[in-house]
Structure 1
Amino acid sequence: MGIAAAARRVSVRPYDDAADREAVLSLIAADRLVGQPVGTSGMLTEALAGRSAVDAGWWAELDPPVTDLAQDAAGQVLGVVSYATRASDGAGLILWLHCCEDHGVAQALVAHVLGRLGSRTVFAFEFASALTAGLEGLPVRHRAATQAALEEAGFAGRDLWRYMHRPLPAADLPRAAQVHVRDCEELPGKQVEIREGGEVLAQATIGRPEAGIGVLWWISVTPTARGRGLGMGLLGTSLDLLTGLGADEVILYVDDNAPGDPERDRTAANALYDRAGFREVDRLFSFTRQPCPPVE
């Protein structure tokens, strides 16, 4: 436990749904990013149960999550953490944590989880919970105290994603001359394609808007069709479709290049989003803590 938390006599106890739900929703709201939905009671219910429409397969591999709270001597709720274990590899996972970015409270919650999980590999912020619109990772610029608490506890961070946002409509962007639109099978939304002679030249996946927020999950242009402006036209058309479905803002996630892998070169994608008026809101990190070797 950190000095600040200890001075406030922070203690950790199990979450009580009847007594603590509103306090936890307030903690979640304090960390809300632009482009993310306001956390609802229904979203919290799904997160507590270890379910999420995004990354559902990864959540299904977990044992039932445990959720605990940090409180002060007067019983005021200061933070919340949810964690679980995974039977397939024995790993522990910190699933989500909120503490109004109080460093001492973050330290107390991380130390508590590590004490409960024991000597095993522990991951933190590995995949998206039901509390977000696909936010996979910790937004480190907005959550510096949580990042610091993890790193002080021996976690190593991995910079994985750009989280980007722009308002809609996107009247400033060009449109593709002709697209094919069909329902998306994996996520609720639409698959948008530009075809030529039966061949798919460019493809985008958009998520059905929730609370006015649309998600651009994916956009790509085949290597042989690049340099023709298809990507920008497809992007403009996809954002039009999101507007028509009720979105007044859109978010996206783009990962960085994988060294030595030409299929994971994101240079063109990043340039496309920057030109199209998307603003980088934050960088998303995941974290890993390896077991400490035994002392001889």
Structure 2
Amino acid sequence: MAATTARTQTSTTVRPCTPRDLERVLELIEGDRLPGRPTVSACTLGHVLAGCCPGDAAPSLLQEPRTELAVGTGGEVVGVISWALREQNGDALLLWLHCVEDDQQVAHVLVRHMLDQTGRRTVHAFGTPTAMSFAGLPVRSRRGSAVALEALGFSRQDGWSYFHCRPGTLARLSYKIIDITESPDPYGWYVRLRTSDGTYIGKAVVSRPVEGTAVLEWITLDPEHAAAHLHLRQCLAHLADRGIRELTVLLGTPADVASHNHSPAAELHRQAGFQEIDQLHPYTRRP
């Protein structure tokens, strides 16, 4: 596909990504990395560029996947966007987007270019997880991209609050209250929580650690229980003994919640030592 030029205050050229650009693309991705997420390697990026995205964007379900760059007047790469069409219904998917310092102008150019290429169809942005990231745009730390999407007619959808903690900083009780079974499949570790007298009170699944980081995939623990946060805190502290330095969890949050998530589950995680870092939201634009 030929390069195109979008007229802004300065000219920004949009062109396809090539192998020689991968190092710069990795730099842009690293600049947006959230606390608690592993560094994206060249191997992982190559896997994603080949169209290997989990969830509903499996390679066999995508048409015309493209990764394109925004290039400034001096030839420097200032942004990258990846998008494709869904084979089943023809909807467009904006899979991921990164810009220098989350530049609103660059994000606008890239998304506008994608819309020009996809034509009149429904577009879903950041609705699909990839090997590099969760679904959802971090709307606080990447405010420029969020503003650009909204200016181009995208509507924010229900998403997730992104919580993060460092288990190694938490004090331990003198007795063990969790049992951990390491699953042979990629899903991770199965955790059973119990009280000091041996009564089981909950279960959890933790992803297999990567570079000392892991995800608390789900947990069944009554947030109304008086000591629930203490049991969760101890679970986290003992996970640190297994080499987990940073742990993240995603909790559902409505599209119209602009500040902190104050649901019972969110409060439970805060009391246990998590901090809400950002909110991840997908976006939709209809023709």
Q: Which bin holds the TM-score, normalised by the shorter protein?
A: 0.7 to 0.9
Residue 234 of structure 1 deviates from its aligned partner by 4.4
Residues 183 and 138 (structure 1 numbering): CA distance in 2 closer, same or farther, change over 3 Å?
Answer: same
Runs of 4+ in 1 over 6 A off after TM superposition: none
Q: Is the 8 A contact 1:126 1:287 kept in 2?
A: yes
Residues 58 and 251 (structure 1 numbering): CA distance in 2 closer, same or farther, change over 3 Å?
Answer: same
SS in 1 for 2:62: coil
**Alignment equivalent of 1:229, drawn from 227, 230, 235:** 227
Residues 22 and 93 (structure 1 numbering): CA distance in 2 closer, same or farther, change over 3 Å?
Answer: same
Residue 219 of structure 1 deviates from its aligned partner by 1.0
Residues 116 and 7 (structure 1 numbering): CA distance in 2 closer, same or farther, change over 3 Å?
Answer: same
Q: Is the 8 A contact 1:136 1:284 kept in 2?
A: yes
Partner of 1:288: 284
**Alignment equivalent of 2:9, drawn from 7, 10, 20:** 7
Q: Is the 8 A contact 1:215 1:252 kept in 2?
A: yes
Trace 1:52-131 onto structure 2 (pairs within 5 A): 52=53, 56-60=54-58, 61-63=61-63, 65-100=65-100, 101-131=102-132
Q: Is the 8 A contact 1:190 1:207 kept in 2?
A: yes
Residue 231 of structure 1 deviates from its aligned partner by 5.8
**In the aligned structure 2, how far is the partner of 1:131 from the partner of 1:163?**
15
Partner of 2:24: 23
Task: Provide TM-score, normalisation by structure 1.
Answer: 0.82
Partner of 1:152: 151
SS in 2 for 1:208: coil
> Is 1:165 equivalent to 2:190 in the alignment?
no
**In the aligned structure 1, how far is the partner of 2:237 from the partner of 2:48?**
29
**In the aligned structure 2, how far is the partner of 1:283 from the partner of 1:113?**
24
Residue 178 of structure 1 deviates from its aligned partner by 4.6
Moved more, 135-144 or 61-70: 61-70
SS in 2 for 1:50: coil
Q: Is the 8 A contact 2:166 2:245 kept in 1?
A: yes
- Specify the code of the residue in structure 1 equivalent to 2:274: F
Partner of 2:258: none
Residues 193 and 118 (structure 1 numbering): CA distance in 2 closer, same or farther, change over 3 Å?
Answer: same
**In the aligned structure 2, how far is the partner of 1:78 from the partner of 1:157?**
25
Partner of 1:32: 33
Partner of 1:273: 269
Partner of 1:261: none
Residue 183 of structure 1 deviates from its aligned partner by 3.4
Residue 95 of structure 1 deviates from its aligned partner by 0.4
Partner of 1:213: 213
Q: Give percent identity, aligned residues only.
A: 36
**In the aligned structure 2, how far is the partner of 1:170 from the partner of 1:269?**
21
Residues 276 and 200 (structure 1 numbering): CA distance in 2 closer, same or farther, change over 3 Å?
Answer: closer
Cα-to-partner distance string for 1:246-295 (whole Å, 9 max, x where unaligned): 2211111111379xxxxxxx93321111101211111111100001xxxx
Residues 148 and 233 (structure 1 numbering): CA distance in 2 closer, same or farther, change over 3 Å?
Answer: same
- Specify the code of the residue in structure 1 equivalent to 2:10: R
**In the aligned structure 2, how far is the partner of 1:42 from the partner of 1:221?**
37
Residue 222 of structure 1 deviates from its aligned partner by 6.1
Residues 249 and 175 (structure 1 numbering): CA distance in 2 closer, same or farther, change over 3 Å?
Answer: farther
Residue 23 of structure 1 deviates from its aligned partner by 1.2
- Specify the code of the residue in structure 1 equivalent to 2:11: R
- Root mean square deviation, CA, Å: 2.8
- The gaps in structure 2 that reach 5 residues or longer are 1-5, 256-261
Residues 175 and 187 (structure 1 numbering): CA distance in 2 closer, same or farther, change over 3 Å?
Answer: farther
